[in-house]
Amino acid sequence: MMDHLVETVETNSAPSRLVEERLDEIRRVMGKADDDPLRIVGVGAGAWGSVFIAMLQENYGKFRAKVSVRIWRRGGRAIDKSTAEHLFEVINSREELLRRLIRRCAYLKYVEARLGDRVLYADEILKDGFCLNMIETPLCPLKVVTNLQEAVWDADIVINGLPSTETFQVFNEISKYWKERVNAPVIISLAKGVEAEFEPHPRIVTPTQMIYRATGIPLENILYLGGPNIASEVYNKEYANARICGSEKWRKPLGKFLRQSHFIVWDNSDLITHEVMGGLKNVYAIGAGMVATLTKESATSKSVYFAHCTSEMIFITHLLAKEPEKLAGPLLADTYVTLLKGRNAWYGQKLAKGELSLEMGDSIKGKGMIQGVSAVKAFFELLNQSSLSLQHPEEGRPVTPAELCPILKMLYRILITREFSCEAILEALRDETMNDPRELIEIAHSHLFFQPWLLGQKP
């Protein structure tokens, strides 16, 4: 299925009338009465989840009688003094932001926190537009709710900004509050992580599938939105694009509703495959960060790594997708931006520098969840199943797909089993027995080993 651009012509600053017409259109599609506002709720307040809700608030929030935008995050997360000091510096370096806080009578608490006279909380500062994972990019003020039931019970559109590792648990809780609902909400998942399960057979589980399992919401009401985007740059109106994937009933009207002059939205029917590819690039981004640090940003070494990791991604997509060629552009674009500026590449750099350690876990202060770590585990353990074995091209013996992906295998042994230090990623690249990346791509093209059940699909 080709991607479709949501056809809406607009200037750099869309007239308020056109924005309101777009809001009215999605309200009609969702069957909203004139006196009933469209309720949009973000669940999870990481960088991308917060930015996404802030963009909707800025674009549609002025139509208060027609739409309500709010975001849920857990309460009680205290901010340490060093973060409060940094936050104070950000505030005082931007006159417009400083004036806004003074007008809202909110400035004094940041002074007190800077002096150590009070404690600030993550939900408290989010109301003023500060996402804990993105302090240096202040957002517009947001309506923040810390009670999950209050946030979601009457939501029409829910934006999942949670990491994959938390999605099932939170939506399982949410399902308790939706038991009496007549109309199912529409859910747009932004999560790019994946998990794996092995019973009754090996398969990848994506966040949209977790949401379906947890809530029983019809699959046609659950969509995925992803693209090669850095949250802070999208909020600062750098040109960006994304794909909303899922049922035609919802992806087309929602694509038009979400589109802005700097944020172009295509729509596509292939939800699960795009979602999985969004998780796959995080795997190799961590290794790219390690290589960049260990080689002192050697362009040659980074290009060698890129050649090997892209050949492995192509190989893996042939296992997971019936028409993998259609994923090449989106996957490479998403990989490229993640290697340049994503949190997973940053994490790999910090590990290689010794500034972070695996013992610190994969939820990092100021960055949030590093979803590439769990994705390494999921992809390797899934592709290392003997039921997927194929013949080794040279040795003629059966091997699992994971055995033909030396970068993925080494990342697993560094990050998950912790057998090796970060330096081992260079040893894997320099291994004289490693095949030409082209050969792995040739294997992918010459073997018909698409396994639809790996994504929970019927053969």
Catalytic center residues: 281
Give Rg (Cα) of the chain. 23
3-class SS of residue 158: strand
Phi, psi of 263 (to 5 degrees): -130, 95
Phi, psi of 36 (to 5 degrees): -120, 110
Which residues have CB under 8 Å from 108's CB, separation 6+?
A: none
Angstrom distance (rounded) from CA 186 to CA 30: 9
Residue 373 structure tokens: 């770590």
Instruction: Quickly count: other Cβ atoms within 10 Å of residue 180's Cβ.
Output: 6
Longest dimension (CA), the chain: 73
Nearest CA among 167, 191, 200 for reference residue 453: 200
Task: Identify whether the C-beta of residue 138 lies closer than 8 Å to the C-beta of residue 129.
Answer: yes
From the number of C-beta atoms within 10 Å of its C-beta (0-12, 13-18, 19+), residue 98 rates as: middle
Residue 343 structure tokens: 């949190």
Q: Which helix (H) or strand (E) holds 299?
A: helix 299-320
Task: Identify whether the C-beta of residue 409 lies closer than 8 Å to the C-beta of residue 415.
Answer: no
Reported as half-sphere exposure (CB side, CA atoms, 13 A), residue 355 has a value of 11
Task: Identify whether the C-beta of residue 316 lies closer than 8 Å to the C-beta of residue 383.
Answer: yes
Residue 372 structure tokens: 């590439």
In Å, how far from its chain's centre is CA 167? 12
Nearest CA among 221, 112, 111 for reference residue 160: 221
Nearest CA among 172, 169, 158 for reference residue 222: 158
Distance (Å) of CA 234 to CA 52, 209, 238, 241:
9, 27, 5, 9
Please state whether the peptide bond connecting residue 437 to the residue before it is cis, i.e. omega within 30 degrees of 0: no
Strands 4-5 and 263-268: antiparallel
Angstrom distance (rounded) from CA 109 to CA 112: 5
Expressed in angstroms, the distance from the first to the final Cα of the chain is 18
